[in-house]
Structure 1
Amino acid sequence: PEPFEWLVPGLRLELITGLIKTLPKNIRRQVVPAADWAAKAAATLPETPQGNLLTTVAKALQSLSGAIVTAEDFDPLRLPDHLRMTYRVMGSTGKNMGTDKNLEKLQRGLAAKSRDAVAEVAERVTSPLERDGLTSWDFAELPRTVDAQHGGNTVRAYPALVVTNPGTVRQEVNIRLMATEADQKREHPLGTRALVIAAVPSPAKYVQEHLTAQEKLILTQSPYPNLSALITDAIAASVDSVLFSMREDGMIFQKAEFETLRDRVQGAIMDNIFDAVSQTARILSAARDATKAMASANPMTYLAVLTQEKAHLEQLLQPNFMSNAGLARLPRILIYVRAITMRIQRMLEDAGRDRAATVELDQALNLFEAAGGKIPLAPHSPASQVRVRWMIEEFRVSLFAQSLGTAEPVSLQRIKKALG
């Protein structure tokens, strides 16, 4: 949507004027009258502006006026309708398939119809590729793309292994032709993982039988509904660790690659799962310590921090946190949980120091949210958001539990830079 947010050149001056009028009063009074400052800002823009509209206008106003203006200070939803682009999707017969001011919302709403339409066109030029109920990788290769001509245009489909009804007894793997490469990249690694799990003897029973009584007791406090679900997620995380070490994007399309993946998983899965379960037991033990530390603090005096850290602990220990975070990150999650206990202890010693650090943490969280991120991460979040989400955890350690050490240099400035 970014290029469309600039509207047409004839409305751009009115658009910038309207945006200035949405600024908070303390900023707006430094750039009045709005029309004059809009004209000054517009004069600094190239004939064909590129990039984010709000960021570019904010930088122009700040440079011209000296006022501190950021993209987050504008409120585009307050603009009149004619200054916000309207998107309309037309079907091949001219029928209006949908209209909205929000392009991404429109795309999400029509995603299934888009996929079906692309698949229908693509299957005209290739032997039927879509299949249901795969139990093994029984084909030589899945093409990365399928091109077809339609109405003078090239329509490109993106084949992928897609898991339906994940996590249920009715789960199955199907071959589907996706409408976009992003859809393919989102679904295909999950489908590949499911076929690997189907191809490798399950170690779940052996693992359960060889856990210590203490481990079994601690693991009952996990966010998983039962021990079987926890081990199932550890198996998924183990497959992912091998898959993404083979291919950074997790995209394999040839049978030979799949067989290599299967063999590597089979060789590493037992050690990986025992390590994951052991790490999880330590994490849950640390979580119990964090809960005790929070219970020891006066809830009336420290209500804000205790509420924040209780939510923080829940964010770290979401269902399926092993496969969502990845095996390699489990040792850091242990550090993040221990940092909660340390923060509470240090807060009781010096509440003023904690308040100062909280201001910096809140700034980082606000930047992340303004960039579209949220914690816990939404499924299939962009890689940049995933990176910053974990940078924020390291930032918490640097603010509240420095002695635990961070995995990388981290600061508010580095988080800003990572968010672009």
Structure 2
Amino acid sequence: RFKDERSDFISLLKLWDDFEAQKAHLTRAKIRSYCRDSFLSFVRMREWHETHSQIMEVIKGEFEFKLNMVPAEYPEIHRALLAGLLSNVCLRQEQSEYVGARGARLHIHPGSFLFKVKPKWIISAEQVETSKVYARTVAAIEPEWIERVGAHLVKQQHYDPHWERKAARIAVHERTQLFGLTIQAGRKIPYERVNAVEARELFIRHALVQMDYDSRAPFMAHNIKLLEEADYLQQKGRRVDLMVDELWLFKFFEERVPPEIVNGVTFEVWRKSVEALKPDFLKLTQDDITVKVDESVDDLNFPDHCMVGGLRLPLQYRFEPGHVDDGVSALIPLQLLNTLEESPFRWLVPGMLRDKVIALLKSLPKTLRIHFVPVPDYADRILPMLDFAQGDLLAQLSSALKRTGGISVPTASFREELVPDHLKTNYLVLAEDQRVIDRGRDLSALKQKHSKDAGQSFKQIASEAYLMTGCHEWTFGDVPVTFDGSHEGSRVFGYPALVDEGQSVGLRILEAREEAQLVHEGGLARLLALSLAKDLKYIRKNLRVDAAAELACGRLGAHPLFYKDLGKERALRDDVVARLLAATYLEDQVEIRDFASFSERMEAHRKELMVRSDEMGAIAQKIMQLHAEVLRSLDKAPDGKIKEDVLFQLSRMIYLGFWIKTPWAQIREFPRYLTAIQHRLQKAGQDPGRDARQRVDLEPFQSAFWTMMEKYQGRRVPERHPFRWKLEEFRVSLFAQQLKTAYPISVKRMEEALKTLEPSG
């Protein structure tokens, strides 16, 4: 009944209280019986009582202490015991083992009520050694009591002073120990309690120099803005010597902030009193932070935006070698990704062009590079010859090297993979909420990865911002060449075009300029067809093509790479009439963008339709006839490689819907190209080896062009590219010289044309 599972001392106190209560109303004989029944020694209990009485007499008499009127609680009792038993404090280490003062190992005595409880911290009345060292008369205590009672014996260690932004102070970890026992292992306390001088220095460094401090003080916003602008200027110029360092800033504030300021609370009180008299006392100035001025690091050489095809894109700069965004980054909204080409970005910005040119010259093979040493000097000679951001950088560089050194350097000789990353534009692809969803220095790879998402995003935003459909006459107003606007916060840049909807015309914004030009032409042709319906009905009916030609045209295969939008069923007469309208009203003429121009053009060329229709019908008939003959001749081709190459040529020239995509100026040459194939097949039977050698001359140019077109992912129209028809003329010069070419063509001329072939992007 006296048991207390927290403290053997409390168990003894309960025993004392019960004995005193019994003694107050029992006779001496009954007290003896009480002790016997309670397994207590009457003699020892009497001695205890007498000792207590003697102590109380001394306390009341000599010391004149008064007794507590309120019974002491558990903490008070054990803190009092702790004052005399500090060396008997123990900490549990393992299941039942404790560590005491100075590393002593001991256990709770089995006779203790706490033997099974095993508190973490205990105090004992004594420690005895038998087979083991035992702590007897034990009580559970709190470690905080040890620090309070034994403050004069507790040792303190402080480590890791650090800045706490939220608390606006320097904090430090504190470890406290008593006789080798760790009481607190990592408590955080304000550092000014330990070292006020260092706390002040660290506060100034973190809060005022590094500005890692939440304050609404005007000086803070002013200084942050000033230093960020100066640092960004350094980032642009890839410099570290234009502005003061942290040591200077520390001295600036250290001279102004008084010694008693050690944290955010004391600082704010002082700041408000000072700024009431001197509002600019803590504000930095441009002169304060400027070490030197470099006039070349300006907005002209390092602009914050770049213009790409009429689109104004933000630029960001970072000077941190090894970082993924080191260099200059262009911020590109996802919906605009497909509208961009890589060529303009190769120029970087004017302030970085010299380093880019030096890197490109160093990337040349040694056999070429030795002609341009020292490289920096040659770069300085070349730079004035370059027309910044006009055309392809590598083509201009090749031309400039030819003029300065007389050495021909093909653009393919520049190994861009050897150019450091910071000298290549970094592309940051942004979602609608301006999050960076991807980044990289290969625009083609980013476009390929996000082409579908970018296209869908563009179409959705563009259709909501700029859309008309189902029109049968010109009701669009003026149609601009480009559209640069926004819809619900999203940027839209594209190329408006009239769209052929079959029996009507619509208005859309498209991503690519060439695609828009071609689609706009088709839309205009459909609008013309609706306006000239009676004339075209007669022309279509009387077009000079027979049933065999129409049937053969319907059996043509689709283009192997592009134009899935052309469908699987087309009528030769409809396609020829569409090209007739385009050739008469649109090709090689100023693009129609308003109603007045449309009406004027329609009436001005109306009489030409009939004349052109006769010629076009005859050409259509001839093309299908020659195409059929070539296919029959292929069965007799002496070499499978020859047949493969001819089929490659035909599939990209005469496919289902080629009348829609190919300008009339090129279609009218098709009979000559087909006749050239016939001559080739005839001669190949006599000398297959010669044909193979000629294919070797053709292959590099053909491969380069179609590889480029595939990388454009349909954003370029091969039939509108001059190099596409140079390939056909080159074929004529190789395989059928007797037919003559439309203009001089040779391997050398093809090589020159290849140098200026617009890079993919």
TM-score by length of 2: 0.43
Bigger mean CA deviation after superposition, 284-293 or 260-269:
260-269
Matched residue type, 1:197: A
Match of residue 684 from structure 2: 347
Matched residue type, 2:746: S
In 2, the alpha carbon distance for the partners of 1:377 and 1:407 equals 30
In 2, the alpha carbon distance for the partners of 1:376 and 1:94 equals 26
Q: Which has the higher helix share?
A: 1
In 1, the alpha carbon distance for the partners of 2:394 and 2:728 equals 28
Residue 85 of structure 1, CA deviation: 1.7
* Residues 126-145 of structure 1 mapped to structure 2, 5 A cutoff: 130-138=467-475, 141-142=478-479
In 2, the alpha carbon distance for the partners of 1:162 and 1:217 equals 28
Residue 249 of structure 1, CA deviation: 4.2
Of 599, 619, 637, which residue of structure 2 is paired with 1:297?
Answer: 637
- Taking only the aligned residue pairs, the percentage that are identical comes to 24
Matched residue type, 1:251: I
1:381 aligns with 2:717: yes
In 2, the alpha carbon distance for the partners of 1:402 and 1:321 equals 26
Matched residue type, 1:85: T
Match of residue 735 from structure 2: 400
Match of residue 241 from structure 1: 583
Match of residue 530 from structure 2: 198
Matched residue type, 1:134: C
Of 152, 173, 195, which residue of structure 1 is paired with 2:505?
Answer: 173
Matched residue type, 1:239: L
In 1, the alpha carbon distance for the partners of 2:642 and 2:484 equals 55
SS of aligned partner of 1:175: strand
Matched residue type, 2:745: V
CA deviation vs aligned residue, 1:341-361 (integer Å, no higher than 9, x gap)? 101211222334434433432
Residue 178 of structure 1, CA deviation: 6.5
1:279 aligns with 2:613: no
Match of residue 251 from structure 1: 592
Residue 320 of structure 1, CA deviation: 1.4
1:5 aligns with 2:346: yes
Matched residue type, 2:717: S
Residue 95 of structure 1, CA deviation: 3.6
Bigger mean CA deviation after superposition, 355-364 or 401-410:
355-364
In 1, the alpha carbon distance for the partners of 2:343 and 2:737 equals 40
SS of aligned partner of 2:668: helix
- Check the 8 A contact 2:431/2:437 in 1, yes or no: yes
In 2, the alpha carbon distance for the partners of 1:117 and 1:408 equals 46
1:207 aligns with 2:541: yes
SS of aligned partner of 1:161: strand
SS of aligned partner of 1:391: helix
SS of aligned partner of 1:361: helix
* Residues 17-96 of structure 1 mapped to structure 2, 5 A cutoff: 17=359, 20=362, 27-28=365-366, 31=369, 39=376, 41-46=378-383, 50=388, 52-55=392-395, 69-77=409-417, 81-88=421-428, 94-96=434-436
Matched residue type, 2:526: A
Residue 70 of structure 1, CA deviation: 1.9
- Check the 8 A contact 1:44/1:60 in 2, yes or no: no
Residue 233 of structure 1, CA deviation: 1.2
Residue 188 of structure 1, CA deviation: 2.8
In 1, the alpha carbon distance for the partners of 2:456 and 2:550 equals 43
Residue 133 of structure 1, CA deviation: 1.8
State how many pairs are aligned: 393
In structure 2, relative to structure 1, the CA distance for the partners of 1:418 and 1:68 (3 Å cut) is closer
Residue 253 of structure 1, CA deviation: 1.1
SS of aligned partner of 1:410: coil
In structure 2, relative to structure 1, the CA distance for the partners of 1:143 and 1:330 (3 Å cut) is closer
- Check the 8 A contact 2:539/2:610 in 1, yes or no: no
TM-score by length of 1: 0.71
1:306 aligns with 2:643: yes
- Check the 8 A contact 1:161/1:192 in 2, yes or no: yes
In structure 2, relative to structure 1, the CA distance for the partners of 1:136 and 1:284 (3 Å cut) is same
CA deviation vs aligned residue, 1:127-152 (integer Å, no higher than 9, x gap)? xx7432212224665466788899xx
In 2, the alpha carbon distance for the partners of 1:84 and 1:114 equals 26
Match of residue 745 from structure 2: 410
- Check the 8 A contact 2:545/2:621 in 1, yes or no: no
CA deviation vs aligned residue, 1:224-263 (integer Å, no higher than 9, x gap)? 8888522221121111112225x62432412x43234445
Of 659, 676, 699, which residue of structure 2 is paired with 1:322?
Answer: 659
Bigger mean CA deviation after superposition, 304-313 or 186-195:
186-195
CA deviation vs aligned residue, 1:3-62 (integer Å, no higher than 9, x gap)? 5424475796588557755x6xxx446648x9x775565454427953644345556778
SS of aligned partner of 1:313: helix
SS of aligned partner of 1:409: coil
- Check the 8 A contact 2:638/2:684 in 1, yes or no: no
In 2, the alpha carbon distance for the partners of 1:409 and 1:205 equals 37
Match of residue 126 from structure 1: none
Matched residue type, 1:331: R
CA deviation vs aligned residue, 1:348-405 (integer Å, no higher than 9, x gap)? 22334434433432354356468x457999564389x622211221221122112222
In 1, the alpha carbon distance for the partners of 2:552 and 2:458 equals 47
In structure 2, relative to structure 1, the CA distance for the partners of 1:71 and 1:329 (3 Å cut) is closer
- Check the 8 A contact 2:540/2:574 in 1, yes or no: no
In 2, the alpha carbon distance for the partners of 1:178 and 1:213 equals 37
CA deviation vs aligned residue, 1:178-210 (integer Å, no higher than 9, x gap)? 688767545432221221222324528963898
Aligned-residue Cα RMSD (Å) equals 4.8
Bigger mean CA deviation after superposition, 325-334 or 338-347:
325-334
In structure 2, relative to structure 1, the CA distance for the partners of 1:140 and 1:71 (3 Å cut) is closer
SS of aligned partner of 2:743: coil
In 2, the alpha carbon distance for the partners of 1:313 and 1:375 equals 21
In structure 2, relative to structure 1, the CA distance for the partners of 1:6 and 1:328 (3 Å cut) is closer
In 2, the alpha carbon distance for the partners of 1:289 and 1:149 equals 54
- Check the 8 A contact 2:358/2:379 in 1, yes or no: yes
Match of residue 162 from structure 1: 499
In 2, the alpha carbon distance for the partners of 1:275 and 1:15 equals 53
Residue 314 of structure 1, CA deviation: 1.7
In structure 2, relative to structure 1, the CA distance for the partners of 1:75 and 1:262 (3 Å cut) is same
In 2, the alpha carbon distance for the partners of 1:222 and 1:183 equals 23
Structure with the bigger RCO (C-alpha within 8 Å, sep 6+) is 1
- Check the 8 A contact 1:15/1:83 in 2, yes or no: no
In 1, the alpha carbon distance for the partners of 2:652 and 2:526 equals 26
- Check the 8 A contact 2:592/2:598 in 1, yes or no: no
In structure 2, relative to structure 1, the CA distance for the partners of 1:216 and 1:146 (3 Å cut) is closer
Q: Which has the higher strand share?
A: 2
In structure 2, relative to structure 1, the CA distance for the partners of 1:253 and 1:351 (3 Å cut) is same
Residue 306 of structure 1, CA deviation: 2.3
Of 337, 351, 364, which residue of structure 1 is paired with 2:674?
Answer: 337
In 2, the alpha carbon distance for the partners of 1:37 and 1:369 equals 38
In structure 2, relative to structure 1, the CA distance for the partners of 1:12 and 1:4 (3 Å cut) is farther
In structure 2, relative to structure 1, the CA distance for the partners of 1:309 and 1:375 (3 Å cut) is farther
- Check the 8 A contact 1:276/1:330 in 2, yes or no: no
SS of aligned partner of 1:88: strand
Of 329, 354, 361, which residue of structure 1 is paired with 2:698?
Answer: 361
Residue 318 of structure 1, CA deviation: 1.7
- Check the 8 A contact 1:186/1:380 in 2, yes or no: no
In structure 2, relative to structure 1, the CA distance for the partners of 1:416 and 1:250 (3 Å cut) is farther
Of 441, 451, 463, which residue of structure 2 is paired with 1:101?
Answer: 441
Q: Which runs of 5+ in 1 are unaligned?
A: 124-128
- Check the 8 A contact 1:58/1:69 in 2, yes or no: yes
Q: Which runs of 5+ in 2 are unaligned?
A: 1-341, 559-566, 757-761
Bigger mean CA deviation after superposition, 52-61 or 343-352:
52-61
Residue 339 of structure 1, CA deviation: 0.6
